[in-house]
Every structure is written in C-alpha cells, then in structure tokens.
A = this chain, B = another copy of it.
Amino acid sequence: MVAVMGIAERKVRERESMKAKILNAAFKLFLDHGIENVSIRNIAERIEFSPGTIYLYYRDKDQIFFELYNLAFGRFYEEQQKLQPIQDPYDRLYQGCQQYIRWGLANPKLYDLMFIVEIPMNVIAREECEDIGRRSFDLLRQTVTECIEKGKLRIKDVELGSTMIWNMLHGIVSLIIKRRILVPEETVEGMVSAMLDNFLLLLKR
C-alpha cells in the first residue's frame, strides 16, 4: 500500500519532469530559431521521442505556446518587480518605463509572444492569460496611482494614465522590433531615450 502510493507519487513527478522536458525543448527552439521553427516534430526530435508522445502531455501546440507565454511574462514581471523598492514614485515610473523598453528590445522574441502575436489560446486560459498580464499592469497602475496622489502628473485618471503610458511604451518597442521605424539603426537608441524623456516630461506637472 505504501509502495503503491510511492509509485503514484513517482509517476506524478515523472509526468511533471516530462512536461518540463518538452517545455524546455520548446523554449530552447523558440529562443534559438524563432517561433516559426517550434514545431511538434522539432520538439519531439530534440527530446528523442516520437511526435505523438507530446500529445500525451499537452493537448495541442497552442497549450505549449501558452506555457511559453507564461514563462516570458514571468521573466518580465520579475524584472519589473525589482524596481518596487524605489521610494519616489516618479523615479520608479521613469525607471520602470526605461526597463520596459530595454527589456523588450533585449528580448524581442519573448516580447513578441507576450504582446504582439495572435494570442495562442483556442479554448481555455483567456482569463488566466489576462491574470498574468494584469499582475504586471498592476505594478504600473500602482506607481501611477502614487504619482497622481503626490500631484506629480498632469493627469488625474489612474486608469487612463497607466494605459496611455503602457501604450506609448508598447508603440515604441513593437515598431522597432517589427522594423517599421524608419530611423537608421544607429540613431534608434538615442531616439528612444529622447522619446521616453520627452513623453514623461510632458506628463510631469
């Protein structure tokens, strides 16, 4: 009886480790060769299992992509959270924005998955998917709230202000990532920080 329980637990562990194995292979393929080269067959080859096996652990490809999505958001959230200790809310806002852009440009594939690509969820997870996003957005909202409370912004509505800031940041990052910005490569960095500085200056009371 005890042995039976031990086996059941081991099986759970084995299942988890197999899921992780698949996910790691998918993540590696994703980082190394782009989302377009993450195929079930490629993953299977990487972990030396047959393609069919993967469907014993994940319902479909979208579910794998959703896991990658969460992974990416986890990393992003972690970085943003590091700035929480900063006392002055405007300073925290500024650094948060700067880090958002930096992180996005440094991790274009992750950013793509998080904010640009068609959401890879056929059935479930629409809410769960928003939850992880909302957690990150809440960090910004909190900071904006404090800024407004201390009268540091020319905007009074928290929801409006947070969304505006986020949209601006996303516009900058996504257009650069997707190579739609017409400015020459070398001058991008300068342009970006100039835009951020000017935008936050406009916002500042």
Are A134's CB and B178's CB within 8 A? no
**A interface, over-half SS:** helix
**B116 and A199 form a contact (CB under 8 A):** no
CB distance from A98 to the nearest CB of B (A): 15
Question: Which residues from 149 to 194 on chain A have a C-beta closer than 8 Å to any C-beta of chain B?
Answer: 154-155, 157, 159-160, 163-164, 166-172, 174-175, 178-183, 191, 194
CA distance A160 to B172 in the complex (A): 12
When distances are taken between beta carbons in the complex, the residues of chain B under 8 Å from A203 are 202
Judging by beta carbons under 8 Å apart, are B167 and A171 in contact?
yes
Cβ of B160 and Cβ of A194 under 8 Å apart? Answer: yes
A-B contact pairs, 24 of them (CB 8 A): A115-B175, A115-B178, A116-B116, A116-B174, A116-B178, A117-B178, A119-B178, A119-B180, A133-B180, A133-B182, A155-B198, A155-B202, A159-B191, A160-B194, A160-B198, A163-B181, A164-B195, A166-B171, A167-B168, A167-B175, A168-B171, A170-B174, A171-B172, A202-B203
Query: Which residues of A are at the interface with B, using a C-beta cutoff of 8 A?
Result: 115-119, 130, 133-134, 137, 154-155, 157, 159-160, 163-164, 166-172, 174-175, 178-183, 191, 194-195, 198-199, 202-203
